[in-house]
């Protein structure tokens, strides 16, 4: 089992969020559990290699 960090917030009745590694891809859900399921689906889609041009966050070590 692996984990992925995500950011979430509520706007009105909807929960919105995105995976920390993929900040350009926001999804939503009617409940927090619905949002988390949509984030899992998004993670699978983005990691499949079938979507071209995906932008990700990376970390650079500075000396």
CATH number for the domain spanning 41: value is 3.30.160
Tell me the pTM.
Answer: 0.86
CA distance 25 to 18: 6
* Domain region containing 35: 1-63
CA distance 14 to 45: 22
Query: What is the pLDDT averaged over residues 12-39?
Result: 97
Query: What is the pLDDT averaged over residues 22-35?
Result: 97
Q: Where does the pLDDT of residue 10 fall: very low under 50, low under 70, confident under 90, or very high at 90 and above? A: very high
The pLDDT value recorded for residue 20 is 96
- Name residues whose C-beta falls within 8 Å of residue 13's C-beta, 6 or more positions apart in sequence: 30
Q: How many domains does the chain have?
A: 1
Q: Residue 38's beta-bridge partner residues?
A: none
């Amino acid at each position: 089992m692996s984990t992925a960090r995500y950011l979430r917030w509520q706007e009105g009745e909807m929960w919105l969020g995105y995976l920390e590694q993929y900040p350009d891809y926001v999804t939503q859900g009617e409940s927090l559990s619905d949002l988390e399921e949509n984030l899992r689906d998004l993670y699978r889609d983005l990691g499949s290699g079938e979507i071209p041009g995906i932008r990700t966050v990376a970390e650079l070590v500075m000396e």
